Amino acid sequence: MQITNKHNLPEPYYKSCLRDNHPRFGWDTFSVTELMKGTKDIILTRRHWEELEQDCVDMIWTVFGTAVHSVMEGHESENELAEERISMKVPCGEYGDIRVSGGFDLYNGDTKIITDYKTTGVFSYQMKLQEGTESHWAKQLRIYWLILAKAGFPVKGVRNTVFLKDWSKTNAKRDRSYPQKPILNIDYDFSEVFRSDVAADMMADLSAKIQEILYYKDKPEEEIPDCSAEERWERGECWAVMKKGRKTAIKRHDSQFSAEQHAENLGAGHYVEHRPGVPVKCADYCTCAEKCSFYKKYMASLEEGKAKNEEETINE
């Protein structure tokens, strides 16, 4: 990937952005972080790696995340393993055994807890809390658990330690539901993961994902399935109750069912219009977006004025 410095930022900052700009693994190995992404994202990023471009000004939060890891590195206790990378083989049918490699942040040999550090904003942290064990942070930790267990390290718990980069003391005083500290732990209850049938299901899911990637890796871009709504970080999908002859929505609902009930109650001349969500990752965070037909179609739809959400006055 070409990292540019269009804003003439200091050389040490620019060079810190080059730090992780290493060649991708071959098709016989995938990192855990990579497998959290959509199949299309993974293939297009690997396929176009040399041509992709990113400016260092947009890598500020990656640099912050790396800095947090760096200042803690080397301070682990005797019974802790930090910043280690280990892997396991996953049987993938006709493609043979494929390696899945995970770099976990901390494993404590006494408590048997794996910790993964995350540097993020308050909103993202609150979303992850809501998603619980279904968040991609939690899914990533489940795979680390599996890799470590297979390597002979027993695991009793998994945890994210979250550093909130936009935390505000004023907001914390004003609102009890706001995170009360700038660094917090999220502990996940994965007791069910320790059952062998759950581990087998996880291996099967990993195998299915890898086989899908390998099946599509040389196919034309349009044939590769688009990333799912979850993988696109899609937000704001809604169903708008409309009235014939009026351009703006009467009300937007989070569920199709409640919108349909509302329209029915209002009577003749009212109908429901589905409004797709905003694919936040495609729009702002996907490094291979310029190679992706989903992104191009989304941008074209915005230009055609199909995205009406922001223009509407909502009559709540």
Residues that bind ligand SF4 (CB under 6 A): 38, 40-41, 44, 226-227, 232, 279, 281-282, 286, 288-289, 292, 294-295
Cα separation, 46 vs 40, whole angstroms? 10
Which CB, 144 or 298, lies closer to ligand SF4? 298
CB of 120 to ligand SF4, least distance (A): 18
Which CB, 147 or 289, lies closer to ligand SF4? 289
The backbone region for 48, taken as left when phi is positive above 0, alpha when psi lies in -120 to 50, beta otherwise, is alpha
Which CB, 190 or 233, lies closer to ligand SF4? 233
CB of 81 to ligand SF4, least distance (A): 33
Which CB, 52 or 199, lies closer to ligand SF4? 52
Burial of 305 from C-beta contacts in 10 A (0-12 / 13-18 / 19+): exposed
CB of 106 to ligand SF4, least distance (A): 29
Which CB, 38 or 102, lies closer to ligand SF4? 38
Contact present, 105 and 82 (Cβ < 8 Å) = yes
CB of 62 to ligand SF4, least distance (A): 17
Count of CB atoms within 10 A of residue 91's CB? 13
Which CB, 39 or 108, lies closer to ligand SF4? 39
Closest alpha carbon to 128 in 162, 87, 91: 162
Angle at the Cα of 228 (from 222 to 233), degrees rounded to 5? 120
Contact present, 251 and 241 (Cβ < 8 Å) = yes
Give whole-number Cα distances, 301 to 64, 127, 296, 298, in Å: 34, 27, 9, 5
CB of 154 to ligand SF4, least distance (A): 36
Cα separation, 155 vs 249, whole angstroms? 51
84: enclosing H helix or E strand: strand 80-91
Which CB, 39 or 115, lies closer to ligand SF4? 39
CB of 36 to ligand SF4, least distance (A): 12
Phi, psi angles (nearest 5°) of residue 33:
-60, -40
Cα separation, 69 vs 81, whole angstroms? 14
CB of 2 to ligand SF4, least distance (A): 18
